[in-house]
Structure 1
Amino acid sequence: MAHRNTGTAPKTARAKKAAKEPAARPAGPDMDSLGFQAMDSNVPVRVARGKDFGIRTYFDMFQKMEDTFKFCVECKKLPDALPDPKSLRRCKRCQNVYYCGTACQRANWPLHKKFCKKLKLVALDRLVEWLVFTGDIPFPTETWTKPVQDVKGWEDWFAMQGQLEEKLAAILGGRYMTLLWANAGKPRPEDGELCESIKRLVTDFHSRPVTIGLGMRLFGIEPLARPLTVHVVGASHVETLNTRATDYDELTRMFPGHQGMEVVMVGVDVVDGPIMRPPLAALGPRGRVYLSSYKGLYHDFWESQVETQQAARPDLVVGFHPGFHACPDLMEGWLPTLLLLRDYRLPTLFTVYSEQELKASLQILLELETHITGYGANPFASLRPEQVYSSPNKAPVYCSSHYIACLGPLGPDAPHVQELEDDGED
């Protein structure tokens, strides 16, 4: 599986990853009226962004999106390589994977049956995600009625959302949901299935800001005591495409009465938009979350902006899926940033996709003599399953499924790797 980069090295394409960005701002030069460019970013391998493709209708849009997933999952042939390009047939159970014939389908079934049910959810969420870009998802949320430490996960979070059934019903009966299933080329699922898909996508939208709040709790950072600055290191199109200035306002609902927060997206692949504005030299506005960004390497940002006091020093640094474990090139690009975070003793939270990535990342951080203060499963991981684009018959992964918290250099009494693997938090 390819991993996206930090913004400290050339970006690695992640073909399997659906566009995770928050709801789109009104249609303009960056996105057509159908929202196709946003979904186009879903599949960068076989569709070039920013072109018309002759799309004139919603049906064309959804078909173009589905075309990018059409290849035989067994022999890997694309439609153009078949005598009849229309001979590809979709699995009727999951509505996700394709086969060029019954022989490939039978050969693939022993493997596919392990993942068929999960891949059905993936295919559904891939379509319903369009409602993120139309603005139907997420629904308006409520101020947290429980202390942060008492909210153990998404079940508790949904329990705090007033009139949840009415909010879900409004999305189900909305114009864009109707348009979706009139043009998707698939039968409309039952309302219960659609409600669960909407809820998964809502967790996907809010996972990043709520994970930032988790980082504050892990490090004992108190938003009610003073204004705070958070740096999102290695930000790219995943965090910044079509981002609105209000997309992290869940932090205000999480910490009502906070003294002001600024979240600065830093990375070489930050996308231009409403948050492409200079970081604040002073503290953020009281009771609000202010989003800003910087297009460049983090250690350059630190030298040119933080050390010159043109931007505030961070109280917390967060890296969503840095992927520095994936290959030497990514690690080389990340190294100056990792050493800076360690040597300046900046409270840092990284997220990863799986336990395997967790162990590999822990190994690297300990080899750099970084002090790991905690790690484990993220109670606010996205609940939306994601497939590997080129090889979907694998266990789906979930954004920010695990976290690593680290602070400063390794001390003489810090645990070794084996001890961490045995004693990690859950």
Structure 2
Amino acid sequence: MECAAKGIRRQCSGTANRPCDSCGAVYYCSNSHQISHWSVHKEECGRLKKQLFCVELLNDFPFTFCQVATDKLYEKVETRCSFLDTFGIHRVGIWLCECSCLSCWKDYYEWRGIPLDSPATLLLHWPLTIYQAVQLASARQLISETMDELCIHYLGPERELYQLSVFGELHALFPGVQVHIDFIGPAVSHDRSSCYVAKEFFFCKSGNGEFSSYTTTDNSSAITSSLHSGYYHDRYRDITKEFLPDLIIAPNAGIAAYKSWSATIELIREIEIPAIFSDYCEEACHLAANCLTSVTGSPLTLPVQLNPFRQPLAIEDSALLIPCYSNCFLFGI
């Protein structure tokens, strides 16, 4: 359960295990957060209390599997994936869309109805890498598995700045979640610092054999982003005056290659926000891991692993004669 006061100026102090004594529908990480949030919660407390009286009615089904499918899912004892796996139908055939668990490009193409000869992956590896990072962080309980809002600090964007519309695909990947991405890096020009609302984005093949990209026209898109010029360790205090990030993501980071990372890693260690990095090849990740552990004094919380949503276009003129792909491997602290 996520703290109902998450996002206020003070960072949550721990697990949200303090329910509201009146309604029992919301939880808090501390007494201070509960008190500070009362001015907001009091407007909904009575209404939520009445709604909870309907729980038994809402969960009343005649099926033998109902306790797992309702109570245990509600109490986070089970997940949709584990429930489907019990019946041997997890990610099988027409059951594919009953969870948002995607494990590879093939799964994603089937789910979105994109033909396998579409070059969509050349762009969509950016949002799909975010998706994979969030799934890994959730699996290791670095962030909440269920949330209504997700704030990501995205470090060092370059090419992505010219392809912001592809991040609208996160609308499909995180349905019902308000996702905000702060893009921070020296490649962001000062005059470009702004807020952008992304729409859902995907590729399909037209009748004449040409590929086209499409965005939805739904103005209620839950994906927003802001651009910030400068290094993360210089801009962090300004960006987080009101909201703290849930997760930090740094694609193709090159930690061992750039001295500027040292101050940023020190900051990440200080603020204790989970951070996931990617790089072009495993050797770059190995060197980065050495840098991270030397600064933090701790091993990686997320060991180096292959990203199933890496860009399927080999990098030319790489420093080493080994396969290199954009967002090829993931690791984190």
Report the TM-score, using the length of structure 1 for normalisation.
0.45
Residue among 267, 270, 273 paired with 2:188: 270
Asked if the contact 1:278–1:294 (Cα under 8 Å) also holds between the matched residues in 2, the reply is: no
1:271 and 1:146 mapped to 2: Cα distance?
42
User: Is 1:373 equivalent to 2:307 in the alignment?
Assistant: no
Where does residue 77 of structure 1 map in the other structure? none
Where does residue 8 of structure 2 map in the other structure? none
Task: Report the alpha carbon displacement of residue 359 of structure 1 after superposing the two structures with TM.
Answer: 1.0
Pair 399,383 (structure 1): closer, same or farther in 2 beyond 3 Å: same
Q: SS at 1:219's partner residue?
A: helix
Where does residue 243 of structure 1 map in the other structure? 163
1:146 and 1:266 mapped to 2: Cα distance?
35
User: Is 1:226 equivalent to 2:148 in the alignment?
Assistant: yes
Q: SS at 1:249's partner residue?
A: helix
1:218 and 1:397 mapped to 2: Cα distance?
22
Equivalenced residues, count? 211
1:208-240 per-residue CA deviation (whole Å, 9 max, x = no partner) reads 2111111212222457522111011122x3221
Pair 351,146 (structure 1): closer, same or farther in 2 beyond 3 Å: farther
2:195 and 2:281 mapped to 1: Cα distance?
34
Where does residue 60 of structure 1 map in the other structure? none
Q: SS at 2:167's partner residue?
A: coil
Where does residue 224 of structure 2 map in the other structure? 290
2:270 and 2:237 mapped to 1: Cα distance?
14
Residue among 89, 93, 105 paired with 1:154: 105
Letter in 2 for 1:379: P
1:146 and 1:370 mapped to 2: Cα distance?
38
Task: Report the alpha carbon displacement of residue 404 of structure 1 after superposing the two structures with TM.
Answer: 0.6
Task: Report the alpha carbon displacement of residue 267 of structure 1 after superposing the two structures with TM.
Answer: 0.6
Structure 2: state its 5+ residue gaps: 1-95, 198-218
Q: SS at 1:380's partner residue?
A: coil
Structure 1 segment 16-35 matched on structure 2, within 5 A:
none
1:347 and 1:318 mapped to 2: Cα distance?
9
User: Is 1:314 equivalent to 2:248 in the alignment?
Assistant: no
Structure 1 segment 102-121 matched on structure 2, within 5 A:
none
1:263-319 per-residue CA deviation (whole Å, 9 max, x = no partner) reads 11101111578x731599xxxx9751102110111112112332x33xx21101000
1:364-397 per-residue CA deviation (whole Å, 9 max, x = no partner) reads 11111244112311111111112117x8x94441
1:224 and 1:374 mapped to 2: Cα distance?
20
2:233 and 2:194 mapped to 1: Cα distance?
19
1:7-46 per-residue CA deviation (whole Å, 9 max, x = no partner) reads xxxxxxxxxxxxxxxxxxxxxxxxxxxxxxxxxxxxxxxx
Q: SS at 1:252's partner residue?
A: helix
Asked if the contact 1:317–1:346 (Cα under 8 Å) also holds between the matched residues in 2, the reply is: yes
Where does residue 305 of structure 1 map in the other structure? 239
Structure 1 segment 14-93 matched on structure 2, within 5 A:
none
Where does residue 121 of structure 2 map in the other structure? 203
Where does residue 133 of structure 2 map in the other structure? 215
2:276 and 2:128 mapped to 1: Cα distance?
13
Letter in 1 for 2:311: S
Letter in 2 for 1:323: G
Letter in 2 for 1:214: Q
Asked if the contact 2:176–2:222 (Cα under 8 Å) also holds between the matched residues in 1, the reply is: no
Q: SS at 2:166's partner residue?
A: coil
Q: SS at 2:123's partner residue?
A: helix
Q: SS at 1:145's partner residue?
A: helix
- Bigger relative CO (Cα 8 Å, ≥ 6 apart): 1
Asked if the contact 2:148–2:176 (Cα under 8 Å) also holds between the matched residues in 1, the reply is: no
Where does residue 382 of structure 1 map in the other structure? 311
Task: Report the alpha carbon displacement of residue 251 of structure 1 after superposing the two structures with TM.
Answer: 1.1
Pair 377,396 (structure 1): closer, same or farther in 2 beyond 3 Å: closer
Pair 223,210 (structure 1): closer, same or farther in 2 beyond 3 Å: farther
Asked if the contact 2:186–2:230 (Cα under 8 Å) also holds between the matched residues in 1, the reply is: yes
Where does residue 252 of structure 1 map in the other structure? 171
Q: SS at 1:367's partner residue?
A: helix
Structure 1: state its 5+ residue gaps: 1-143, 169-194, 407-426
Report the TM-score, using the length of structure 2 for normalisation.
0.57
1:399 and 1:315 mapped to 2: Cα distance?
24
Where does residue 67 of structure 2 map in the other structure? none
1:233-261 per-residue CA deviation (whole Å, 9 max, x = no partner) reads 122x3221x234x3211111112222x01
2:251 and 2:298 mapped to 1: Cα distance?
18
1:323 and 1:314 mapped to 2: Cα distance?
22
Task: Report the alpha carbon displacement of residue 204 of structure 1 after superposing the two structures with TM.
Answer: 2.4
Root-mean-square deviation over aligned CA pairs: 2.8
Task: Report the alpha carbon displacement of residue 156 of structure 1 after superposing the two structures with TM.
Answer: 0.9
1:222 and 1:256 mapped to 2: Cα distance?
16
1:367 and 1:224 mapped to 2: Cα distance?
33
Letter in 1 for 2:149: P
Asked if the contact 2:179–2:223 (Cα under 8 Å) also holds between the matched residues in 1, the reply is: yes
